[in-house]
Structure 1
Amino acid sequence: MKHIPRKRFGQNFLTDQQVLHDIIRSINPQPDDAMVEIGPGLAAMTRLLLGSLNHLHVVELDRDLVARLQKHFDPARLTVHSADALQFDFGSIPVPEGKKLRVVGNLPYNISSPLLFHLAQIAGQVQDQHFMLQKEVVERMVAEPGGKEYGRLSVMLQWRYYMELLFVVPPTAFDPPPRVDSAIVRMIPLEKPLACDETRLEQVVTKAFSQRRKVIRNCLAGMFTENDLIDAGVDPQSRPETVPVAQFVALANRLV
């Protein structure tokens, strides 16, 4: 029975075989990898992953798709978690000693940013992440200081991850086609991210980019003095989008 994509779940199923094989090559799954796929949908990528993996975990919210997966796959090789990825405890997936979790998925555009921050909480337990996301979101994730794409998402994720836009995927690769281009991003957690309290960094970055057209001295007025900015290596006359991650961390570490 044909599954009708559901807008409320942000379902756009990847059907282009060439793109699917390009993604699998980028992921390079190995038999003993501990891997979880978010939003397997109609299992186009799931099948290809299982061509290399001994076992795969998937997290799926749509109960009809959960039933479909459970019907068509051997539970000895595929563990289906019927859950909302935003609430799911990815740290609960069993990982062999000496291994770290690998996370992959075609993420629904409507929950991509909160899901990335949810996964960031277990970054220390993760080997890498490969995701399909809206191209505009990936460009913001990997943006360097100085461009209009550089902002809160860039800083908060680059503090934890090395990230790379691998390639762009056109709307024609999906059913139904989305209205935007997509892109594949590789995220590798940094072994030693700069020491910082996440809540303080979030406060500084959010306030800084809430008025990004102003100079940072004015954006952060009431939080830091001009001398605080200078001591952290930040030019008070600079705009937020020109301030590197390390300087935002230095400011957060000055926040009392």
Structure 2
Amino acid sequence: MHTLVYKKLYYNKKFGQNFLKDKKIVKKIINFINPSCLDILVEIGPGLGALTEPICRIVDNLVLVEIDKNVLYFLEKEKYFHKLLIFNQDVMSFNFEKLSIIKKSMLRIFGNLPYNISVKLILYLIKFSNYIIDMNFMVQKEVANRFIAQPGSKMYGRLSIIMQCYYDIKLGFDVGANAFSPTPKVQSTFLQLIPKKIPLYPYNKINFLKEITFLSFTNRRKILKNSLLHIVNKKIFLNLGIDIYLRPEDLSVIQYCHIAHIFYLYKNKC
């Protein structure tokens, strides 16, 4: 039998919970993360402990961020509970910088992320990149494919550009829907995100990159001449070697960084 069995399960739909139950997948994830007893590990959304328990066999202390008090009720009954430092709060308000400073170490973050917050959370974590070694997450397969999409492909877009600016992305393996309970309607991928030591665009100016990519991809059918010329001069495009008759999916990540920088300079002159 390769599934983890729980006597009682309480699913809260608003938290997008799909608990991991396949023991083979759990073992594969642990091998992929390759945790060390010296690591400061942070698990986001531990669920009913499918990953928490085997990680606690390796480390003496594990930080958990979990919003659902019902989940914490289950974890309180486990033998490894004394090893846990638990923050019962919304991860979108959690201060990873503060935790890193308290622990006097950079963090390794992992988790089987709820699909409804995965992208939002990963983008939120960008600002804590200087305090993170790596992040190992289960996400929707389609989202993982968007992360790594290259210029010219249908999947390439805002998310591809922003992710590739700030992270080195390593796809691990795909996970079928039957590995979870309740069973989701989508396939999943386990992956690793390593913050770039030198990002392609500064963290503190990310809003300019977000705005440029938003304007570009709001209507993918529009050429750059129609989507960006009202904020970036035609001559600047020529200086950057960018054809204004290209569509947004035709530009590289670096080219979007250059445009965002020009946009930043323009805004600061106004």
Give the TM-score band, short-chain normalised.
over 0.9
Q: Tell me which of 205, 209, 212 is aligned to 2:213.
A: 205
Aligned residues: 255
- Pair 195,114 (structure 1): closer, same or farther in 2 beyond 3 Å: closer
State the TM-score, normalized to the length of structure 2.
Answer: 0.90
90, 96, 101: which one aligns with 2:107: 101
Q: Deviations over 1:45-95 (max 9, x none)?
A: 001111212211011111111222233255542111101111111222246
Superposed, 1:44-55 pairs within 5 Å as: 44-55=50-61
Q: Retained in 1: the 8 A contact 2:75–2:81?
A: no
Unaligned residue ranges in structure 2 (runs of 5+): 1-6
Q: 1:172 to 1:195 in 2, by over 3 A?
A: closer
1:225 aligned to 2:229? no
Which segment is superposed worse, 218-227 or 148-157?
A: 218-227
Unpaired runs of 5+ residues, structure 1, are none
| Alignment match, 1:174 | 180
Residue 3 of structure 1: SS of its match in structure 2? Answer: coil
> How many percent identity over aligned positions?
36
> In the alignment, is residue 244 of structure 1 matched against residue 252 of structure 2?
yes
SS at match of 1:144: coil
Contact 2:220–2:248, Cα closer than 8 Å, also in 1: yes
- 1:118 counterpart residue number: 124
More helix by percentage: 2
TM-score normalised by the chain length of structure 1: 0.95
The 2-side partners of 1:195 and 1:140 are apart by 19
Distance of 2:196 and 2:118 partners within structure 1:
21
> Does the residue aligned with 2:214 lie in a helix, a strand or coil?
helix
1:5 Cα deviation (Å)?
1.6
Decide which moves more: 238-247 or 33-42. 238-247
Contact map agreement 1:10 1:108 (CA 8 A) in 2: yes
- Residues of 1 paired with 2:127 and 2:151: CA distance? 24
- Name the SS for the 1:104 alignment partner: strand
Q: How well do the aligned residues superpose, as a CA RMSD in angstroms?
A: 1.5
Q: Distance in 2 between matches of 1:207 and 1:94?
A: 35
Counterpart secondary structure, 2:91 = coil
Q: 1:106-136 CA deviation, whole Å, 9 max, x = no partner?
A: 1111111111111111011110001001111
Which of 88, 91, 95 is the matching residue for 2:94?
A: 88
Q: Which position in structure 1 is the counterpart of 2:161?
A: 155
